[in-house]
Structure 1
Amino acid sequence: MGGRGDINVLVIGSDRIPSYKIGIEQPLRHLQKSGVCRFDVRPDDDVHLSRLAAADIVIFFRTVQSEAYKCLELAREMGKKTVYVIDDHFMAMSPASDMGRYYHEPNKRKTYVKFLKNAHIVKVASGFFAKHLETHFSLNKVVNFPGSVDFSLISGLEKDRKHADKIVIGYEGGRKQAAFDPVIQALSGIIQTYGDKIRIEFFGYVPEELAGKRQVSFKEHDADYASFLKRLFRSKWDIGLAPLEHSLLHDCKTNNKFREYAACRIPGIYSTAPAYEDWVKHKENGLLASGTAEDWYEAMVELIEQPELRQKIVENGERTARENFSVEVCADRWRTQIFMSE
């Protein structure tokens, strides 16, 4: 591998997945602008041998395709550094789900394990996931750091003026029924206690039990990362919710909600799950809540009743996000822990 600016990186996988943008594209684009590397993205089934031969580092992103694995074997034969990047533990997915059925196909399961065993580096975004892979697959080459937040997208934006007479509680994300069950009970109690002093906004998913209540509103998920982040920053949310169920699959997840809420200056309440326990300091840069409705209710009441605590969490959360999740910090981790590692 050459010196500064000579690192040629090939990414194999889909560039349409949101975690590609925040985990790979943003930091690599920063390194490219800084003159550290050049990178290109190719789908699993469209990798020319000449492109593979020209690369110094070949990154395989979330793929379990046998065609992609053949590229890994070729890349290793050519002396290239190979990196397998995953942000989900595919074998922990339920075989009953559509996605789980896909990843539990015998050939795809075998290919997944071969990628884990034979890539030079396995890159994940969760400390728990890293330890699980090291323990259960006997890997000694797992690199762990979270994705990035592009602060340039929200730099200079003004937050919408908050309601003087209302507290706004928000959630952004997909359907997580098991995780939401205690939260739905807690929110129902909050509505009973505070009535029209509360507004609850859902982006992407609204529980059926709460849909239609006069305090509750819903907006569709915004698939464009830039406009999503801007909308989240501009929101009037006083409290952001981040429930996560306890299962091996979810314990291996990364801290997306904490990164986003903290960067957008939203005080968050997070499940006591590995994804958040590694980063959230209770009552400092967020609140942690267990899996009970009572715990979620009490955490919401605490933030509703204590504006000074909300402000403290806003300041500390943003500081944590800028120190740990900026594109510049993420890019430097790629450079030092992956590009320059032996």
Structure 2
Amino acid sequence: MKILFLTPYPAGEAPSQRFRFEQYFPALQERGIAYTERSFLDLATWRILYKPGHQAAKIWGIVKGFGRRVKHMLEVPGHDYVFIHREITPIGPPIFEWVVAKLLGKKIIYDFDDAIWMALTSKHNQMAAVVKWHSKVASICRWSYKVSCGNDFLCDYARQFNPRVVLNPTTIDTVNLHNRTNPQTSEKVVLGWTGTHSNMVYLASLLPVLRRLEEKYDFTFRVISNQDPQLDLKSFDYVPWQKATEIADLVQFNAGVMPLEEKISPLSLGKCGFKALQYMSLGIPAVASPVGVNTKIVTNNVDGFLCETEDDWYQALARLIEDAELRRRLGANAQRTVRERYSVLSNTENFIRLFSAADAGLPQVATNSAAVPATAHQ
């Protein structure tokens, strides 16, 4: 068997790719399954993509990406499956996906871990909103052999267009990567958040809570990200995200926060809880909003806390600051939750079955017409 992975970003660079499928590549090799990974963006464009300026280089990188995709189409016939993460091209209609499914007759495994069909973009990407063509997600779902989704909300959307939908959670490699434990012995407690700049909007709801905590406790609120949010807090500390040190930096958290608000963005329901999983895998209690998949990942007062109101957040974080034994107990339970339900080891067979015809849990799909369905441009 041969699988062609068509990805947005260079191999080993983007968290969504690393934690949804790239970390299963050794399992494919062990089973004698050959694979090839091809990205839309080259490494040079990826490195400047989220930096201000460089507009000419970014545009040229996109143009080159389309040229790369034309070459990649020549590789498709030599593979049994084509695994598409999010989309083959970041802008425009799903022409390449149609070519793969209809002209070349290949089985598509379509994978996504966000509500990418929603026409919402951050203020950093206003230009992209015009040409994203969000409605293509529905078409790609229809043309796919199977659809792999990161949570139930995403699965429910995909099932409108294709009955062969697999819940494939974002998982943690507890053997080779997230394999440390915070002993919870530090004298000064570190509360932390990690994520990209586009999700920093959710931190605003925590600022009043953190300021209240600062009046009573001496602690550090640390943000690990690709941009400095420059929060107006005396407890604030910023650590630039680096792939080489991400685990060593994360394991210094004594508790990790994951605030979400559906009223800020409906995209919250599509989140796959990865922040919480990262914290929990390292023995760090997760304190999260009860939104979307968070309510399935975190069990309140067992392996973390689910907090809805400002007072909920204050009480939970205050308890964790004060009580090291509570942090250890919740952290140990959190690691068990990840190992049993959200680890690479626990999900490997589920992932491998994506590339199997003998999956009794999924219905068969009728052969589609080769005509290109109309797709609204959003």
Question: TM-score normalized by structure 1?
Answer: 0.84
1:221 to 235, 238, 241: 241
Deviation at 1:157, TM superposition (A): 5.2
Deviation at 1:280, TM superposition (A): 0.9
Answer yes or no: is the 8 Å Cα contact 1:30–1:331 preserved in 2: no
Deviation at 1:94, TM superposition (A): 2.2
1:139 to 150, 162, 172: 162
Answer yes or no: is the 8 Å Cα contact 2:172–2:178 preserved in 1: no
Offset from partner CA, 1:81-132 (integer Å, 9 cap, x none): 21111122223242563446525527x2353332122112221111122123
SS in structure 1 of the partner of residue 312 of structure 2:
helix
Distance 1:99 1:144 in 2: 29
Deviation at 1:39, TM superposition (A): 0.7
Distance 1:88 1:320 in 2: 22
Distance 1:281 1:265 in 2: 15
Distance 2:156 2:88 in 1: 21
Q: Percent identical across equivalent pairs?
A: 21
Give the 3 Å change call, closer, same or farther, for CA 14–200 of structure 1 in structure 2. Answer: same
2:96 to 70, 89, 96: 70
Match of 1:127 in 2: 152
Give the 3 Å change call, closer, same or farther, for CA 314–62 of structure 1 in structure 2. Answer: same
2:220 to 192, 199, 221: 199
In structure 1, give the amino acid aligned to 2:221: I
2:33 to 34, 37, 54: 37
Distance 1:282 1:158 in 2: 21
Offset from partner CA, 1:145-173 (integer Å, 9 cap, x none): 21222223347757588433x22211112
Match of 1:317 in 2: 334
Answer yes or no: is the 8 Å Cα contact 1:91–1:103 preserved in 2: no
Unaligned ranges ≥5, structure 1: 1-6
Question: TM-score normalized by structure 2?
Answer: 0.76
Offset from partner CA, 1:22-71 (integer Å, 9 cap, x none): 111111x1223312411101235144455211211111112253686435
Match of 2:257 in 1: 241
Alignment of 1:280-295 (within 5 A): 280-290=298-308, 292-295=309-312
2:320 to 282, 303, 309: 303
Offset from partner CA, 1:253-294 (integer Å, 9 cap, x none): 11101210111111110111112112111011111011x322
Distance 1:138 1:154 in 2: 36
Unaligned ranges ≥5, structure 2: 41-68, 365-378
In structure 2, give the amino acid aligned to 1:142: V
SS in structure 2 of the partner of residue 128 of structure 1:
helix
Match of 1:60 in 2: 84
Answer yes or no: is the 8 Å Cα contact 1:168–1:239 preserved in 2: yes
Deviation at 1:232, TM superposition (A): 1.4
Deviation at 1:178, TM superposition (A): 4.2
**What count of residue pairs does the alignment treat as equivalent?**
322
Match of 2:113 in 1: 87
Match of 1:167 in 2: 189
In structure 2, give the amino acid aligned to 1:139: N
In structure 1, give the amino acid aligned to 2:33: C
Match of 1:254 in 2: 272
Answer yes or no: is the 8 Å Cα contact 2:172–2:281 preserved in 1: yes
Answer yes or no: is the 8 Å Cα contact 2:304–2:330 preserved in 1: yes
Offset from partner CA, 1:132-151 (integer Å, 9 cap, x none): 333xx443222222122222
